[in-house]
């Protein structure tokens, strides 16, 4: 498989650009034996995909419809499985008093109105996540969550929060 050729066909010419999957409406081609595991790793037919560029390419053509996930091209649509969230925030940094989150697939977003920090339950514990794009959410990795916790301040009522993008986000 020539990844560069496929990227050109999909209209990708630089990092963080995603093809217009929202404008593609092919018929379902079938189910693909591909799983995005809870730890953010991608697996095809039981083998982990270790080529980072290939994982980023697949992530760029990922779309969620209802509770299902699909890989799309203009003419194909393959259903895949996702164990938890399709993306994982692996690093955060503070830039100009805003929190910038970086995913395992290279997406970079700033926490704020367009990408609010949300809390959801995972195994009985509240964990943060962000809607990266088009209903594709990323949970925080353990290390990124620890970094986020270090940025938090305590409210008078004992709850912890962070500020970013003009908003205040509670971590509980």
Which pLDDT does position 7 carry in this prediction?
Answer: 52
Domains of the chain: 3-82 (3.10.540.10), 87-165 (2.30.270.10)
Cα–Cα dist 40/111, whole Å:
20
pTM summary value: 0.87
Which pLDDT does position 172 carry in this prediction?
Answer: 82
Which pLDDT does position 39 carry in this prediction?
Answer: 95
Which pLDDT does position 14 carry in this prediction?
Answer: 41
Per residue of the chain (172 residues), give pLDDT as tens.
454 555 555 554 444 578 999 999 999 999 999 999 999 999 999 999 999 999 999 999 999 999 999 999 999 999 999 999 999 999 999 999 999 999 999 999 999 999 999 999 999 999 999 999 999 999 999 999 999 999 999 999 999 999 999 999 999 8
Which is nearest to 61 in space by CA: 84, 44, 37, 86?
Answer: 86
CA 67 to chain centroid:
15
Which pLDDT does position 11 carry in this prediction?
Answer: 53
Which pLDDT does position 13 carry in this prediction?
Answer: 42
Which pLDDT does position 16 carry in this prediction?
Answer: 53
Hey, what's the torsion of the CAs at 41, 125, 100, 59, to 10 degrees? 30
Which pLDDT does position 143 carry in this prediction?
Answer: 96
Cα–Cα dist 80/32, whole Å:
6
């Amino acid at each position: 498989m020539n990844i560069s050729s496929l990227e050109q066909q999909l209209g990708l010419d630089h990092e963080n650009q995603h093809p217009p999957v929202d404008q593609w409406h092919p018929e379902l081609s079938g189910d693909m034996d591909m799983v995005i595991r809870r730890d953010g790793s991608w697996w095809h037919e039981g083998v982990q995909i270790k080529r980072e560029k290939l994982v980023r390419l697949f992530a760029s053509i990922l779309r969620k419809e209802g509770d299902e996930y699909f890989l799309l091209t203009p003419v194909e649509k393959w259903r895949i499985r996702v164990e938890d969230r399709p993306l994982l925030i692996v690093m955060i940094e503070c830039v100009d008093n805003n929190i910038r989150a970086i995913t395992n697939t290279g997406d970079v977003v700033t926490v704020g109105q367009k990408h609010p920090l949300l809390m959801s339950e995972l195994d009985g514990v509240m964990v943060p996540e962000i809607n990266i794009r088009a209903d594709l959410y990323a949970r925080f990795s353990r290390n990124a969550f620890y970094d986020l916790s270090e940025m938090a301040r305590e409210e008078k009522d004992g709850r912890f929060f962070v500020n970013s993008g003009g908003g205040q986000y509670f971590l509980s």
